Structure 1
Amino acid sequence: MKTHDVRVWMVDTTLRDGEQAPGVFFRPLEKLTIASRLAECGVDEIEVGIPAMGEFACREIESIARLNLPSMLTCWCRAVKKDIELAIGCNTPGVHISFPTSSILLKTFEKNEAWVLETLDDTVRFARHYFDQVSVGAQDATRTDMDFLLRFCREAIGLGVHRVRLADTVGMITPSALMDMIETLLIRLPGLALEFHGHNDLGMATANAVSAVDAGAKAISVTVNGLGERAGNAPLEETAMALFGIGAKKSNMRLSELARLCNTVARFSGHQIHATKPIVGSRIFSHESGIHCAGLLKDTRSYELYDPEQVGRSTPRQMILGVHSGSAAIKHALAHRNIDIDADTAQRLLPQVRAAAAAGNKPVTPKLLESIYYKAFC
């Protein structure tokens, strides 16, 4: 398959796995808003919650279902029939059933491989009577014995599941190892539809998500701003830009809605977006280096991968005047204050601008720059 023909199904789990971040709790109205923003952003599937959390969780899921959003809505369930029964009452068209598959998790939950396969059969057969889409997940798939993972996936295919989710539950896998795993599964089980769910414990969740698609995964599970347990999950905004904004994959994503979506989730979660956070950080379109600023004034593509507008950023790029600035930035900044100077004058101002920035240990403001100019030449 050619790269540009690849269609990636985006699954967002901010309202489920994202809310599992310590201290995060979304109020009912906030959940409705987040779900609506996700749909506006073009997310294909929204994992809206865990019915087993109780009656309040079921009511919230039902409220989201009543919005009739264009995105597929899915409940997350443990491999327990009672969980699935609760999900049926939530009126979502999809359900995801999660199974522990690694030896360490099976030991933790006092289960074994036979239990997994027997329960897989029982729960999927039951769920398929009530849901349009049934997906299953292999928890800790990246630490699961390959022979058992193959058997799990083969049984799932036979039961007619829509996808199998491979979860890198502790964020331990590398992109190359993940690609090997996915390619092995797809070679042995042609037609298997895989989804990847990556955690960010080693800072590789985005790279792993992109690599999963390159290896043949059909779907990616993400959260807005990477919100989630421990170091979080693969961030929706980073993965989407890497796959669709810069890469050649196809999706329903509207990248121009990313900034609004990310800011909304940051506000509701209480987790501020770091200033240098990829895609949505407040300072990622700020430049000080003289070489960079000179290049950007000629062609923004010289030192920026994409335009701020592409991801819905309303704040324009900024050229900061500091100790690393060059004469081109000074000339540009003064022009914005209706002061036109030549290159020689800008070069003569440069030492004074750098000295002022160093003395104050902060950038030189346009007003201060104008003052420095008038003192030097007027």
Structure 2
Amino acid sequence: MPPDNRRIWLIDTTLRDGEQAPGVAFTADEKLALAERLSAVGVDELEVGTPAMGPAERRTIRRIHARGLPCRLTCWCRALSRDLKLAEACGTGSVHISFPVSGIHMKALATTPAEVLERLARLVDAAGKAFDHVSVGAQDATRAAPDFLREFAVRAEAAGAARLRIADTVGVAAPTAVYRMIRILSAVTDRMALEFHAHNDLGMATANAVSAAEAGASALSVTVNGLGERAGNAALEAVAAALIFATGQFCNISTSGLATLSAYVARISGRPLPPDQPVVGRAVFQHESGIHCDGLIKDPRTYQPFPADTVGREAAAFVLGKHSGSRAVRHLLASVGCPVDRAEAQRLLRHIRRHAEGKGLPMSAEDLAALHRRTPRPVA
């Protein structure tokens, strides 16, 4: 099903762009398992690999195709006829063809604007005869000359491309610039879907992806955990959560499966998640501040953007440390059958803060109860 303006179509490229992160290499079995997990959480389309990489890559793509997953599978190709032939043999039925559109990238590939446009028309026409779905990539679009980018978009639509990928290849765009670019390109194309492909070099990949969707892009390119070259790509889990919880837009992701998916990719990529990784990091539902814990006890919405279980996480946890307050102490002790009054909670807080300042590990509720039992209260 093609993307439309009511639903954001998510294209996961962990198997292709994600694996291009330095030092990351998935086995064929890991790729197959990852494809199945991505499909299970509702990803609409998988960019399954680059057939030109060699026979082993093509065998893996064919294995994934043979699973009959309920999502579109797309092969990534350079703008070369031989790449299209190799992709066609993989049987996926969908192809993405990447073209350089900035002066920097055209120079690097020893080509000219006229040659790019000629090749665009020729290859998209050829691909249309061999594939059910043809996507065209504007590589380094955010550094391209605006007039040429518009012409490239118009020519791509005229040639029969179903979708145009606007790539922020080195992650230098700002959300406002992305918004304007998508609006301009939407005005010169009326049948072709627009996709945005964000990189995170300046930490704006999620914001840029969401801005593109708000501007009218109907498809976004993502990777699990933001895995990818340099600072990575827009993270599937952050983009999906932002679409749903921040903008109210719809995507097909079952967010309750995100934590498990994220943990799997962290393991097979050898890239452990930072504790504060948005949505899926182990610390994003932990709270220490006394003010925050007090608010959360009264209403979890006070200091949480969405319930933890909506993204497959356990309920919010209180961490006892330097910034804890007596309300959290009493709450945690009551949870393990050891209720105390406010005065005792204040006394225990002094021990907790000394422990924290000594760089000790955070205390659990059980640790706190043991502390309460072994440190008798002073006689009044």
Cα deviations by residue, 1:181-218 (Å, 9 ceiling, x for unpaired): 11111223334421000111000000000000001101
Q: Mean alpha-carbon deviation: is it higher for 177-186 or for 348-357?
A: 348-357
Q: Is the 8 A contact 2:5 2:218 kept in 1?
A: no
Name the SS of the counterpart of 1:128 in structure 2: helix
Determine the C-alpha separation between the residues in 2 that align with 1:354 and 1:376.
Answer: 18
Q: What is the distance in 2 between the residues matched to 1:126 and 1:192?
A: 18
Matching residue of 2:275: 275
- Supply the distance in 1 between the matched residues of 2:84 and 2:302 (Cα, whole angstroms): 53
> What is the aligned partner in structure 2 of residue 148 from structure 1?
148
Q: Which residue of 2 aligns with 1:139?
A: 139
Question: Do the aligned residues in 1 keep the contact of 2:195 with 2:217 (CA within 8 Å)?
Answer: yes
Question: 1:84-128: CA deviations, max 9, x gaps?
Answer: 000010000200000001001111111001111111111111111
Compare 190-199 and 262-271 and name the one that shifted more. Answer: 190-199
Q: Which piece of structure 1 moves more, 328-337 or 57-66? A: 328-337
Q: Between Structure 1 and Structure 2, how many residues are aligned?
A: 374
Change (3 A) 1:362 1:190: same
Range with greater deviation from structure 2 (17-26 or 341-350)? 341-350
CA contact (8 A) 2:77 2:83 kept: yes
Instruction: Give a deviation string over 1:35-64, Cα, whole Å, max 9, x none.
Output: 000100100000000000011111110000
Aligned to 1:249: 249
Question: Residues 5 and 249 of structure 1 are in contact (CA less than 8 Å); yes or no, is this contact kept in structure 2?
Answer: no
Note if contact 2:5-2:216 (Cα within 8 Å) is conserved in structure 1. Answer: no
Q: Is the 8 A contact 2:22 2:229 kept in 1?
A: yes
3-state SS of 1:274 partner: coil
> 1:198 is matched with which residue?
198
| Equivalent in the alignment of 1:324 | 323
Please give the secondary structure, in 1, of the residue aligned with 2:87: helix
The reply to whether residue 372 of structure 1 matches residue 371 of structure 2 is yes
* SS of 2:358 mapped into structure 1: helix
* Offset of residue 349 of structure 1: 3.0
For 1:302 and 1:194, how far apart are their aligned partners in 2?
37
Please tell me the residue identity of whatever aligns with 2:292.
Answer: H
- Say which SS state the counterpart of residue 8 (structure 1) adopts: strand
Verify the 8 A CA contact 1:11 1:222 in the aligned structure 2: yes
Alignment deviations for residues 146-193 of structure 1 (CA, whole Å, 9 cap, x no partner): 111111111111112110000000100000011111111122333442
In 1, the alpha carbon distance for the partners of 2:194 and 2:358 equals 56
Secondary structure in 1 matching 2:268: helix
Amino acid at match of 1:366: A
- What TM-score, normalized by structure 2, do the two folds share? 0.95
What is the match of residue 72 of structure 2?
72
Instruction: Report the AA paired with residue 234 of structure 1.
Output: A
1:337–1:128: structure 2 CA closer, same or farther, 3 Å change rule?
Answer: same
Could you tell me whether the CA contact under 8 Å between 1:11 and 1:46 is conserved in 2? yes
For residue 99 of structure 1, what is the aligned residue in structure 2?
99
1:212 aligns with 2:212: yes
* Contact 1:353-1:372 within 8 A present in 2 as well: no
Q: Is the 8 A contact 1:5 1:250 kept in 2?
A: no
What amino acid maps onto 2:139 in structure 1? Answer: Q
Structure 1 counterpart of 2:286: 286
- Whether 2:231 is the aligned partner of 1:231: answer yes
Alignment partner, residue 221 of structure 1: 221
Matches within 5 A, 1:109-148: 109-148=109-148
Task: Give ranges in structure 2 of 5+ residues lacking alignment.
Answer: none
| Residue identity opposite 1:257 in structure 2 | G
- Paired residue secondary structure (1:345): helix
Residue in structure 2 matched with residue 346 of structure 1 by the alignment: 345
Tell me, yes or no, if structure 1 residue 303 matches structure 2 residue 298: no
Q: Which residue of 1 aligns with 2:81?
A: 81
Name the amino acid aligned to 2:365. P
Q: Which runs of 4+ in 1 moved over 4 A?
A: none
What is the distance in 2 between the residues matched to 1:107 and 1:360?
Answer: 54
Displacement after TM superposition at 1:245 (Å): 3.7
Question: What does residue 183 of structure 1 align with?
Answer: 183
SS in 2 for 1:138: strand
Match of 1:13 in 2: 13
Identity among equivalent positions (%) equals 50
Do the aligned partners of residues 55 and 360 (structure 1) sit closer, same or farther apart at CA in structure 2, a change above 3 Å counting? closer
* SS of residue matched to 1:376: coil
The amino acid across from 1:343 in the alignment is: R
**In the alignment, residue 305 of structure 1 is paired with which amino acid?**
P
Q: Retained in 2: the 8 A contact 1:18–1:228? A: yes
Task: Tell whether the 8 Å contact from 1:223 to 1:233 is kept in structure 2 after alignment.
Answer: yes
Specify the code of the residue in structure 2 equivalent to 1:17: D
Q: Residue 165 of structure 2 aligns with which residue? A: 165
Partner of 1:40: 40
Letter matched to residue 273 of structure 2: I
Structure 1, unmatched stretches of 5+, are: none
* Corresponding residue SS for 1:231: coil
**Aligned-pair distance for 1:351?**
2.3
- Aligned partner of 1:55 in structure 2 is 55
Structure-1 separation of matches of 2:354 and 2:307: 32
SS in 2 for 1:9: strand
- The amino acid of 1:142's aligned partner reads T
Tell me the distance in 2 between the aligned counterparts of 1:195 and 1:360.
47
RMSD: 1.5
Counterpart Cα distance in 1 of 2:147 and 2:47? 29
Matching residue of 1:359: 358
How big is the shift at 1:248?
Answer: 1.1
**What's the TM-score, normalizing by structure 1?**
0.96
